[in-house]
Structure 1
Amino acid sequence: MVLSGGTSGIGRIAATEVAAQGATVAVIGRDQTRGETLVAEATALDGDIQFHQADLATQATVRSLAGELLDTYDRIDTLVHNAGLSSRLRTETEDGVELTFAVNHLAPYLLTHELLDRLRSSAPARVVVTASDIHHRATFEFNDLQFTSGYDSLQAYARSKLANIAFTLELADRLEDTEITANCFHPGFVPSTNLFRDAPLWTRVMVRAAAIIPGIGTTQQEGAQRLCKLVTAPKFKERTGTYVTGEGITSPTTEASNPENRKRLWEISADLVDIDPDWP
């Protein structure tokens, strides 16, 4: 299993639990120290955790990472896109893409493209994407998809999660006649993660308050269990194109599921990362 965002939060827990079942887990993260610590702590597990350091903000790094993964692993039967951030200020990457959109959406889009042939040869295989119910408050606004004006960090994050779901559903349709499934999930509101470390002060204060008030939010363990379910549950070996929350398989907004929106996002994304939009 390849898992981005696996050195902290729900990703770290999920990586450990899957490795405990005997799997090899390739964890992708920005922090070398955290990655090395995770590997050291996993030595007693039945499986194996290996760490790959990468900052998914840049397309060159994503492509380099893909090459490294292909050179290291003969099989990739599960690809989990869990890395994410919420940037307080509008920042562009060296590729000229708004940072939250680049990390949360374009990196999964591009990495899936780069690893798809290995997933095919390893099939049955799964693609799992961490989305969020916050997508309910977002729209695409294709005339200004990257918030060149009126940037709001929470809206940018919500739109990136909307993109995650639209991408997953479109990918599932395009892979319909293969043995690769694509599903996404809402981990719950997990206030104890580092997701909002770059968010505005008022957001960080609210998240911190939620973390200490009983009954508010979801624990990291609960969020990780939702991720593990999509990775290991037998029904998701064949079930594809679903959005899963704590209530089970539910429907995302029509903004996310609309075929025209999905196709347009797919084509714009292909243009931004310079690949053929007709893949796979």
Structure 2
Amino acid sequence: MSEEPGVVVLTGGTSGIGRIAARELAARGWTVAAVGRDQSAGESLAAESSTGTIRFHRADLATQARVRSLADELRDGYDGIDALVHNAGLSGGDRIETADGIERTVAVNYLAPYLLTHELLEDLRASSPARIVTTGSELHRRATLDVDDLQFETDYDALAAYSRSKLALVAFTIELAARLPADGGITANSFHPGFVPSTGLFRDASLRTRLLVRLAGLVPGVGSSPRTGADRLVRLVTEPTFGDRTGVYVTGEGVAEPAAAATDPARRERLWERSAALVGVDPAWP
């Protein structure tokens, strides 16, 4: 597969590992469509780029209407899309529903990637070879994948909701890779960025959670730097290996076996169909 830089859509591209990755990809010749919620952060990122091109797209991915309009914006703004990176994420404190009636953590961390991939898949096909990359988490291993209660409508727990959203994301990536034609020129892989306490991931979490994250970050050997996570993201976008391999989960140790719930074909199919219903698309895609 060709490894020439092209256009990469990077959600969560204005802070944390996404911001570092955006700069690095631009320096390597990629045109980066950086998606984020903070206007000033996005504008400063675009202005800071001394090599390559970074264009900012302001979007709150919690609402499905904005995910769809973002897809239209990206489709109209670029000649093609060569890589799609789902890096945006949050961990809240209380259970909050979006305008679509979806619990916010699963809406941003999982359903937004599912829907945005659906909306941009034909553009990726047209630009193939292309890649889809999702930012997972080792916390997916502590989650259960209750497809009938993805949103924790009862007994809400913020960390459990975050972990389940990441398990769903890893499972979706594997299922997507399995559904895409082997000769279609699109790969789909996920990775664990490490525990990066200095990012804004837990900005909306409870005070207790934020304090625990801060304390954990002070323990030698526990936390990773944003640079470490960004380097893994860039690897999956650029390295030839991940232009040929698909459906894999990558950690600091290399390709690793994800949780069994993410690799179970029957459970992945049920998750796919439930997700399609929640965002209002035909489950027969791709």
TM-score bracket, shorter-length normalisation: over 0.9
Q: 2:53 aligns with which of 13, 29, 48?
A: 48
Q: CA deviation digits over 1:85-109, x for unaligned, max 9? A: 0111011101011100000000000
Equivalents in 1 of 2:73, 2:149: separation in Å?
Answer: 34
Q: Give yes or no for contact 2:147–2:274 (8 Å, CA) kept in 1.
A: no
Matched, 1:123 2:123: no
Equivalents in 1 of 2:207, 2:261: separation in Å?
Answer: 30
Equivalents in 2 of 1:69, 1:152: separation in Å?
Answer: 35
Q: CA deviation digits over 1:150-209, x for unaligned, max 9? A: 000000000000001000000001113310000000000001001011112221001112
**1:37 corresponding residue in structure 2:** 44
Q: 1:214 deviation in Å?
A: 3.2
Equivalents in 1 of 2:167, 2:206: separation in Å?
Answer: 21
**1:82 corresponding residue in structure 2:** 87
Matched, 1:96 2:115: no
Matched, 1:15 2:22: yes
**1:208 corresponding residue in structure 2:** 214
Q: How does 1:215-230 map to 2 (within 5 A)?
A: 215-230=221-236
Classify the secondary structure of the residue corresponding to 2:44. helix
Q: 1:75 deviation in Å?
A: 1.1
Instruction: With the length of structure 2 as denominator, give the TM-score of the two structures.
Output: 0.96
Q: 1:215 deviation in Å?
A: 2.4
Q: How does 1:126-205 map to 2 (within 5 A)?
A: 126-177=131-182, 178-205=184-211
Equivalents in 1 of 2:112, 2:220: separation in Å?
Answer: 35
Identical aligned residues as a percent: 64
Instruction: With the length of structure 1 as denominator, give the TM-score of the two structures.
Output: 0.98
**1:241 corresponding residue in structure 2:** 247
Q: 1:24 aligns with which of 12, 15, 31?
A: 31
| Paired positions, count | 278
Equivalents in 1 of 2:209, 2:258: separation in Å?
Answer: 24
Q: CA deviation digits over 1:247-268, x for unaligned, max 9? A: 0000001111100111011101
Equivalents in 1 of 2:147, 2:24: separation in Å?
Answer: 39
- Structure 1 segments of 4 or more deviating over 6 A? none
**2:3 corresponding residue in structure 1:** none
**2:5 corresponding residue in structure 1:** none
Q: CA deviation digits over 1:45-83, x for unaligned, max 9? A: 1x1000000000000000000000000011100000000
Equivalents in 2 of 1:200, 1:171: separation in Å?
Answer: 33
Structure 2: tracts of 5 or more residues without a match: 1-7
The one-letter code sitting in structure 1 at the alignment partner of 2:113 is P
The one-letter code sitting in structure 1 at the alignment partner of 2:42 is G
Classify the secondary structure of the residue corresponding to 2:188. strand
The one-letter code sitting in structure 2 at the alignment partner of 1:5 is G
Q: In angstroms, what is the RMSD of aligned CA positions?
A: 0.8
Matched, 1:278 2:281: no
The one-letter code sitting in structure 2 at the alignment partner of 1:39 is A
Classify the secondary structure of the residue corresponding to 1:244. strand
Classify the secondary structure of the residue corresponding to 1:240. coil
